[in-house]
Amino acid sequence: MDKTKLAESRLWIREELDRCVDFWLKNGMDGVNGGVYTCLDREGKIFSTDKSVWMQGRCGWIFAWLCHLYVPREEWLAASKSCLDFMEAHCLNHEAGERMYFTVTAEGKPLRQRRYYFSEAFYAMANAEYYGVTGERDCLLRARRAYDMYWDLAHGMADPTGLGPKTIPETRTGRAFGIPMIYLNVTSVMLRTDPERKELYEQRAAACVDEIFRYHVKDELGCVLENVGPDGEARLDFTEGRIVNPGHDIEGVWFLLEHAKRTGDEALIAKAETIFNRAINAGWDKEYGGLLYFIDCLGRPPEAYEHDMKLWWPHDEILISSLMLFRDTGKEEYLDWFYRTLDYSKEHFSDPAYGEWYGYLRRDGKPTEPPCKGSTFKGPFHLPRMLTMVDVMLGEILGE
């Protein structure tokens, strides 16, 4: 372990964090209506005023998280509160059991409702984190309500929106890896900020871990399947049943590692290590570098057009998981993956001229044209989360 190289990496990480945070505070925050715009071009100019509800929650969380992790700043707390207030005023569907919208207009008029409950997940995270910083009890109660709704919807509660599953259930139904994976991450935030319900959170976290391995981890195929049958059966005769998202797998690795560290589960560390090794070796582009977005578990053509693109967020997740594996196992191979991914990200994603990372690269590593820094699915979340977590872990490894 080269401590000088680690310290140099940490310096770059901190500088990149400053550029990232400044980019969003300067360009994204809506001083008129509240909340955050995330459809921003390379320079930070808004190219669509529609607002992603996921991003309101994610932005609300990240700025409260910065306050928790570092010395709180007034502008960070204000940005978080702006997103929380915008969600409370505009993003809850009061006629459908407080389910949340997926997109709204700049002023907050509803545009789209989705069957998935990830808007609720990020709303819960944001409110819980803000409560942890400010002690505002109403935020904790909101977080608990949305957190419990996610659980209930995932375990058979009728969706009050009336939206059905995306396939006709009499023909095909099943399970999605993202449901327990994201809930495990939200649960880690709830555990840290809401110790009053620790027993409940630990029970649900354990259930998520069990669900991931019981249904989605397929040792016989050497992968994690995104979509499986109701009992976890692999369905390999159609493309959706063969989807592997290496970045998703690797993101799930550090969720599992956090759970393993908190509970002292050494066996789980080894299981998470196996998931990382399979995903990185299958997904890393040996010709151009970087991680492919989707692969087919049998090596057949993926259906998604973007399958061979390089997106920002899987590379963020590699940096977190590889460094966490190095920290927890001491194996230098994971530090090698950390540096390889960091070098790729510096060369292809990072944009020191304007701040933030390009969101979408072609397979050869060049940004899509015209390039963008944000979208309905990209905002101040994956990148600043990675930068803060890597900053902290590097400090731990360096003994600082």
- 0.95 cut: is pTM over it? yes
11-26: burial string, b at 16+ Cβ within 10 Å, e else:
eebeebbebbbebbbe
Q: How far is Cα 398 from Cα 38, in angstroms, rounded to an integer? A: 35
User: How would you write the pLDDT of the chain (400 residues) with one tens digit per residue?
Assistant: 899 999 999 999 999 999 999 999 999 999 999 999 999 999 999 999 999 999 999 999 999 999 999 999 999 999 999 999 999 999 999 999 999 999 999 999 999 999 999 999 999 999 999 999 999 999 999 999 999 999 999 999 999 999 888 888 888 999 999 999 999 999 999 999 999 999 999 999 999 999 999 999 999 999 999 999 999 999 999 999 999 999 999 999 999 999 999 999 999 999 999 999 999 999 999 999 999 999 999 999 999 999 999 999 999 999 999 999 999 999 999 999 999 999 999 999 999 999 999 999 999 999 999 999 999 999 999 999 999 999 999 999 999 8
Q: What is the DSSP string of 33-55?
A: T-SB---BBTTS-BS---EEHHH
Phi and psi at residue 238, in whole multiples of 5°? Answer: -140, 155
User: How many other β-carbons are positioned within 10 Å of the β-carbon of residue 360?
Assistant: 18
Residue that is written with structure tokens 């997904």 in the block:
283
Among residues 293, 294, 295, 305, the alpha carbon closest in space to that of 359 is found at 293
Contact 131, 139 (CB under 8 A): yes
- Tell me the residue type at 113: Q
